[in-house]
Amino acid sequence: MKKIAIFGGTGNTGLCAVDAALKKGLVVRALARDPAKFPVEVQSKVEIVQGDVLNYDDVKKTVEGVDAAVIVLGTRNDVKPTTMMSEGTKNILNALKEAGVKPVSGCMSSFLFMEIEKVTPMLRDLTQDHIRMLDALKASDRDWIAVCPPHIAGTEISWPAICSLATSGHGMMGVLAASAMSVLWISRKALKPFMSSETEPSGNYEIKHGSSPGRAISKYDLGFFLVDCLDKPEHYHQMVGIAKPLQA
């Protein structure tokens, strides 16, 4: 494996995946609507294709000549209903098939290990699109890895996210949840178990097929694994849980 494509590379975890790939000596090509969202020091090291994952021609251009792909699409703080991630994934899978590229990892959520009725109501719409992503991977003939992290430490809960929850269409549930989260946001010590001071991959994580081994994973370790798993056949066609070891 010499060259990979990364979709969603300007996000928190996506940038970590880009960094991990570069440190492994891989050539990275990334699709981005706004290339300026890449840090200046990264822009010169990555082949950037300006475009949209919902535009098949842009996706096709991004996967030409690569050996594998990483899908780490996200909506940042937007929890409203979406099909962007799943429709983008379908475009990527079709382009990979056309290009003859087999390995592909996709970042989703550990909520996929739960029944949808047990998922926090405000996150069910996003989870539904992750389910559609997973279905697209399973229906493909690519060597897919569905990476399903729990809370991603190092990506702080922001005030815009809290405001978004209050206006996300979930009625009183959204308002109550946003109110509770605003208290936690003001007193961040309460969130300490789910935050991280790490600035690079630690390697201190556990992998489990079919379930989540813990409650949190750093964005650096997650980004590293999304790249590292691509040439590990033991993870192909698996839903992979990843988390820091639970402390006694």
Residues annotated as catalytic (active site), given as ranges: 107, 229
DSSP string, 80-140: S---HHHHHHHHHHHHHHHHT--EEEEE--GGGGS-GGGS-GGGHHHHHHHHHHHHHHHHS
* β-bridge partners, 146: 106, 239
Q: What are phi and psi of 87, to 5 degrees?
A: -70, -40
- Give CA–CA dist 65/138, Å, rounded: 24
- Give CA–CA dist 245/205, Å, rounded: 6
Asked if 216 and 153 count as a contact pair (C-beta separation under 8 A), the reply is: yes
- Give CA–CA dist 45/28, Å, rounded: 8
